[in-house]
């Protein structure tokens, strides 16, 4: 019998309501917090491999979707990894698939994917909470909103005590990545800047209400208009480049799953690049922005937005002021393009989800600044 904790949650549709206590309920004690991240992602990004890093982060979510046979469960894409909340009855199968992905990451991407899990009951016993809410991005497409120090604490346990909370690499069957696509070229900014924002309150979570209200002043057009996925005229990468990427998703290219991808890729390339007037694909492209995760919350506010130079400067000054007043830690990254990694089961409403990051590793780079601020707060005499 499936655990219906998350599917039974009532969703809300205004993102600013992430500050409302009414939408949050405690994560059941029988659930598990599963986390993945690419070890050495900063180095990989400096070598220009940010697309591979994003792909493995999104792939972590895809394999869980396949195991659970549903899209409506709590997860958050973090750029170089993911946070996934799993009911007890599904944990073993999800972890087995993530181990298969870990092997694939090592063999085909030459990257080490960290995989670990923490029982919620253990966090509860340590006095750490996690609460969950459900945000409706568009009809039949939801995003989990997480809050509570248990999220950050679980990450620390997995990273600091790998023998207890990590998973050792084992030989596994092939990870099922069908539906994962990374075929779109980087999306150019319409307004001048692709801005990645990470904001973590120091103590009072109500600071997020203040931040979102100020963002209304800085972005009077509304955050939805700053969604990088709203850019029209996106194009597929070349067929050759896409094939090279597709090969990485297989333990061997001599498989039916690879040839199935190949047969689907070639017509899709011409359909999207030539913008053929096919109703289903036109509706899919039009709906892409509403199905993208350009803003989210997992005990910190995460955004990838397309804004002007002036708006970027206003955000920076505002956040620097909050940090000076010891209300927040934050990280920013600026770029000229965004990246989109997609999971597509179908072209209809609710059948696809699009994970956004900035070119150059927006989330990973912003996290470096945020973690540096936290470290300096712990050790004030550390070097600026």
Inside any domain, residue 259: no
Q: Angle at which helices 91-108 and 239-248 pack, to 10 degrees?
A: 130
Residue from 319, 279, 359, 343 nearest 48 by CA: 359
Instruction: Tell me if 116 sits within 8 A of 163, measured CB to CB.
Output: no
Inside any domain, residue 155: yes
Nearest-5° Cα angle at 117, 113 to 121? 165
Phi, psi of 235 (to 5 degrees): -125, 150
Checking DSSP bridges between strand 141-147 and strand 328-335, what pairing results, if any?
unpaired
Q: Is it the case that residue 305 has pLDDT exceeding 60? A: yes
Q: Based on the structure, what is the number of domains in the chain? A: 1
Inside any domain, residue 3: no
> Tens digit of pLDDT for each residue in 309-330?
999 999 999 999 999 999 999 9
Instruction: Tell me if 116 sits within 8 A of 158, measured CB to CB.
Output: yes
Query: pLDDT averaged over the chain?
Result: 90
Q: Is it the case that residue 123 has pLDDT exceeding 60? A: yes
Inside any domain, residue 274: no
Residue 143 CA to its chain's centroid (Å): 10
Q: How many Å apart are CA 66 and CA 58, to the nearest integer?
A: 13
Tell me 143's DSSP state: E
Inside any domain, residue 48: yes
What Cα–Cα distance (Å) separates residue 169 from each residue in 65, 249, 274?
21, 18, 44
What is the SS3 assignment for 91? helix
The whole-number average pLDDT for the span 83-94 is 93
What is residue 381's predicted lDDT score, i.e. its pLDDT? 65
Query: pLDDT higher for 206 or 111?
Result: 111
Tell me 185's DSSP state: P
Inside any domain, residue 270: no
What is residue 171's predicted lDDT score, i.e. its pLDDT? 56
Q: Is it the case that residue 122 has pLDDT exceeding 50? A: yes
With cut-offs at 50, 70 and 90, classify the pLDDT of residue 384.
very low
The residue length of the chain stands at 384
With cut-offs at 50, 70 and 90, classify the pLDDT of residue 265.
confident
What is residue 279's predicted lDDT score, i.e. its pLDDT? 84
Q: How many Å apart are CA 306 and CA 186, to the nearest integer?
A: 13
H-type alpha helices, 5-111: 41-46, 50-68, 91-108
Query: pLDDT higher for 85 or 167?
Result: 85
With cut-offs at 50, 70 and 90, classify the pLDDT of residue 298.
very high
Phi, psi of 179 (to 5 degrees): 100, -20
What is residue 270's predicted lDDT score, i.e. its pLDDT? 86
Inside any domain, residue 247: no
What is residue 2's predicted lDDT score, i.e. its pLDDT? 60
Phi, psi of 9 (to 5 degrees): -70, 140
Inside any domain, residue 241: no
> Tens digit of pLDDT for each residue in 203-236?
878 899 999 999 999 999 999 999 999 876 678 8
What is the SS3 assignment for 112? strand
The residues, ordered by sequence, that sit 6+ positions from 237 with a Cβ below 8 Å of its Cβ are 183, 184, 185, 245
Q: Is it the case that residue 1 has pLDDT exceeding 50? A: no
Query: pLDDT higher for 19 or 265?
Result: 19
Question: Any bridge partners for residue 112, and if so which?
Answer: 39
- Show the domain range for 294: 15-232+285-378
> Tens digit of pLDDT for each residue in 131-169?
999 999 998 899 999 999 999 999 999 999 999 998 776
Looking at 67-71, 140-144, 180-184, 300-304, which range is the least confident one?
A: 67-71
The residues, ordered by sequence, that sit 6+ positions from 62 with a Cβ below 8 Å of its Cβ are 176, 177, 179, 180, 343
Residue from 40, 359, 354, 342 nearest 177 by CA: 342
């Amino acid at each position: 019998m499936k655990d219906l904790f998350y599917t039974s949650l009532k969703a809300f549709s205004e993102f600013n309501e992430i500050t409302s206590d009414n939408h949050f309920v405690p994560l059941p004690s029988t659930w598990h917090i599963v986390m993945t991240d690419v070890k050495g992602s900063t180095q990989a990004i400096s070598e220009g491999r940010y697309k591979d890093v994003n792909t493995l982060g999104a792939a972590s979510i895809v394999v869980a979707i396949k195991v659970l046979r549903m899209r409506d469960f709590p997860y958050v894409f973090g750029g170089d990894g993911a946070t996934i909340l799993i009911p007890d009855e599904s944990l073993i199968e999800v972890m087995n698939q993530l181990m298969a992905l870990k092997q694939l990451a090592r063999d085909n991407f030459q990257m080490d994917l960290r995989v670990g899990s923490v029982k919620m009951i253990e966090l509860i016993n340590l006095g750490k909470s996690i609460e969950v809410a459900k945000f409706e991005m568009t009809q039949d497409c939801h995003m989990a909103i997480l809050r509570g120090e248990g999220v950050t604490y679980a990450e620390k346990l997995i990273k600091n005590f790998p023998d207890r909370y990590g998973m050792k690499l084992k030989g596994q069957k092939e990870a099922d990545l069908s539906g994962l696509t990374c075929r779109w070229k980087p999306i150019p900014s319409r307004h001048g800047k692709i801005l990645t924002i990470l904001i973590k309150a120091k103590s009072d979570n109500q600071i997020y209400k203040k931040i979102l209200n100020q963002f209304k002043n800085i972005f009077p057009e509304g955050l939805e208009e700053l969604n990088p996925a709203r850019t029209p005229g996106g194009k597929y990468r070349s067929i050759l480049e896409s094939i090279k990427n597709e090969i990485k998703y297989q333990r061997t290219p001599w498989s039916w799953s690879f040839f199935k991808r190949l047969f689907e890729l070639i017509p899709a390339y011409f359909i999207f690049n030539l913008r053929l007037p096919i109703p289903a694909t036109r509706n899919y492209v039009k709906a892409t922005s509403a199905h993208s995760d350009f803003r989210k919350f997992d005990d910190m506010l995460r955004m990838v937005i397309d804004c002007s130079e002036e708006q970027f400067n206003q955000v920076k000054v505002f956040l620097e002021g909050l940090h000076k007043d010891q209300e927040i830690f934050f990280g920013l990254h600026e770029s000229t393009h965004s990246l989109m990694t997609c999971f597509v089961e179908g072209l209809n409403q609710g059948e696809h989800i699009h994970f956004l990051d900035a070119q150059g590793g927006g989330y990973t780079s912003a996290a470096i600044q945020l973690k540096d601020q936290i470290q300096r707060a712990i050790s004030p005499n550390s070097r600026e």
